Structure 1
Amino acid sequence: MRVPMMALVAGAMVAIAGVAVAQAPSVGDVIKTRQANLKQMGGAMKTLGDMAKSGTVDKAAGTEAAKKLDGHAQNIATWFPVGSGPESGVETKAKPEIWAKQDDFKKAADGLKAETGKMQLAVDSGDAAKLGAQVAATGKACGTCHEQFRSK
């Protein structure tokens, strides 16, 4: 019995599409992952800020925090796919402006990336004052996004 080639191709396409749909994360999972990543960024900022305030820079802990912070910042814009805002029905502080003002959001994310990229240099300096200044600059970049794109 011969199966027409088109039937085989169509069957393969349906199977591939089914696998792709089955592996796509739910909107709830996307939001939970985003929130967990943002909390990790907050924790890293706290570690770095506490270090700066103490006057003693622990280079190992500082490096770990700086890498986590910068690694997340480099990907932050990808954490907000269309459909993962308040309209999803899942609790989120992400404002609709993220999607309505994509250029502004990208600019804010780029500003954050620029500042987190400098954090390792501040840690490596071993100078708590330099670290404190960079934590403040990074915090300002975080605040830019929070003011425009996060509900209170």
Structure 2
Amino acid sequence: MNKASQISRGDKSRNTRLSRLRELVPVTSAIVGIDLADAKQMVVVCDHDSRVLARKTFRVRAWDLGVALDWAAAKAARAGFAGVTVACEPTGHRWRILGQLAEQRGMAFVCVQLLISAWARRGQDLTSDKTDEKDAVVPPRFAREVPPSPA
């Protein structure tokens, strides 16, 4: 009788999702987190340890974020990364526009699940203030760790 542990269908499915995530967020790419809003976007460029390499506020609407993605790619290249992966929360319609802009530039794009982001904010600090500066670093942190929501 063989009592060896077999890999379950759930394990195989999770491994497949993680492999896909590793393709989207390779170690050779910096992670660009964007806190999307109406007319003010906070953009951070992070490494895989969530260290902020660059941060900038862009006072543009979502469809004008191409300039922010170009800025982020330049900062990532200057820091020694071969490319970037763009990460955000899928709120409203803006994330779709951002995904299109990233695709036009050949950048990988992932959305971080809202529930995970909300819990991360609570765990990061227990203050009640919610700022764009704090929110922009959450997607890069979880883009590397948690399989993205289906986009």
TM-score, scaled to structure 1: 0.22
Q: Which has the larger radius of gyration?
A: 1
Whichever structure has more strand as a proportion of its residues is: 2
Whichever structure has more helix as a proportion of its residues is: 1
